[in-house]
A and B are shown apart, each in its own frame.
Chain A
Amino acid sequence: MIRLSIQARQALARLTTPVLIVSALALMLLGRATPLVPERARITLSDALAPIYAVVDVPLRAVRGAARAVGETVSLRAENERLRLENDRLRHWYDVAMALDTENATLKENLHWVPDPKLSFVTARVVADAGGVYARSVLLSVGPNSDIRRGEVALDAAGLAGRVTEVGARSARVLLITDMNSRIPVLLEHSRARAILAGANAPNPKLLYVQDGLHPQEGERVVTSAEAGAFPAGLLIGTVHFGESGQMEVAPAADLGRLDVVRIFDYGLGGIVAPEAAAGRRPGAATAAGG
């Protein structure tokens, strides 16, 4: 150990903070220049934390379940009545769907329709809302040898949740459709208008570049469009909703605030997956990979 005078030690101590501040600035530039390095670091950290989160999640899930059970007991009667009505309505729709399904099968047979490819999917548990203040993503806990790949599509029971952006050994990250960097080509089912669904870090993503001359209706279904080859056509995203300022938004069908389990579908679409070297949150790469 080198013995320093008190003055020298004080001078050194005073220098530490400025030197570290300069290193922080250098770190920012480095992160911009080589986005792969922070991404690797994040994946390593996620891989370490995901199994721990998965364990921690078990008792927390029980607590949340108990709290929900208490709330549900209170509204049991009203809920029962509502469900009975909904069941009647759904039974009607079930009959309609069965008839349409038969009709659809006949029509496809007559037209020699090329059958859609069989889909493979894996189901993974969401272990944490990860993203920080300015991002919306979730962390999945996946087995060591899962074949989840970047760019695959994540759906919950009701609709599209997002796309896989990072894959580690035991974890994967899904960028949600509400994230600021998410841009998805969509189709409005009724008016057939094409648009871009842009996340805004708010619960409802916005619809941009809606085709002129078409007037989407409130409540119209919004589905993915196969344009750009990033998504298969026709996945339900949500319904059109006009915000307070008249801005066209989409109310997502997926329960993005409380994602529990998601299915990761492999549609075999190479689409636009940012090359690994260009990954990160640069606008050009991220918009394409975002989803």
Chain B
Amino acid sequence: MDTKPGIRPRLGPWHMLDVASRYAFPGGQTVIVLLLLSAPLGLPGQAQLQPAWAMTSVFFWSLYRPASMPALLVFATGLLLDLLAQGPVGIYVLILLLIHGSVLRYRRTLTRSVFALVWLAFIGMAGAAALAEWLLEAVLTWSPVPPWPGLFEFGVAAGLYPMLALYLITLHRGRAAPEQAS
């Protein structure tokens, strides 16, 4: 926090590095957790956890720290998710970008809302995302696709959001806060 206003000496390389790492933290952590979730952990519903985590992370950082979640990074995250899954390529890229875009569009209202409202907004977006994913999957593979995996994914994303958001908020105020760089 800038507690002492005034002219100060030029900041050293360590400080710059610290600031850079804090800016890169949300994106790097999104990708690393995504790769971890693709490892053979044997967690129940692990296939659904990956998109749920990506949606939560993109939603959260686009809302509270858009400088650390630029559209290009969202694109890369979606592509990684698409390649890790076996579905048609591009579905998650589109979905994550749409989430990113809509969050930025309503950012002013959302940042001033209470947590429950933000959660509700996320639930709405996750529902739309699961529906879009299901439709795109069916159209692109041109075959009937069972709706249950998508519903399950929506449930996982919506249900885990408060927990994940709690964790992300601590990061937002700590590890990923550029103004706290020493």
Identify the A interface with B (CB < 8 A): 16-18, 20-21, 23-25, 27-28, 30-32, 38, 41-42, 45, 49, 52-53, 56-57, 60, 64, 126-135, 137, 180-181, 200-202, 258, 281-283, 286
Contacts and interface: CB of A to CB of B under 8 A. Distances in A.
B87 A25 contact: no
26 contacts: A20-B93, A21-B97, A21-B98, A24-B93, A24-B94, A28-B90, A28-B136, A31-B88, A49-B38, A53-B39, A57-B40, A60-B41, A60-B42, A128-B38, A129-B40, A130-B38, A130-B85, A130-B86, A132-B50, A133-B51, A133-B133, A133-B152, A134-B87, A135-B85, A202-B146, A202-B148
Interface in B31-52: 35, 38-42, 46-48, 50-51
B41 A27 contact: no
Contact of A25 (B94, B101, B149): B94
Nearest to A29: B90
Contact of A201 (B42, B140, B146, B153): B146
B86 A24 contact: no
B146 A132 contact: no
A113 B149 CA distance: 49
A133 B89 contact: no
Given A60-B40, A180-B143, A133 B85 contact: yes
B90 A24 contact: yes
Interface residues of B, number: 49
Interface string B136-153: 110011110110111011
A229 B93 CA distance: 39
Contact of A283 (B39, B50, B91, B143): B143
Contacts of A201: 146, 148-149
Contacts of A28: 88-91, 94, 136, 140
A24 B46 contact: no
Contacts of B87: 132-135, 281
Contacts of B143: 180-181, 283
Nearest to A286: B141
Chain A contact residues, majority secondary structure: helix
A126 B42 CA distance: 12
Contacts of A180: 143, 145-146
A2 B137 CA distance: 42
B141 A282 contact: yes
B116 interface: no
Interface string B75-102: 1001100111111111101100110110
A255 to B, nearest CB: 13
B71 interface: yes
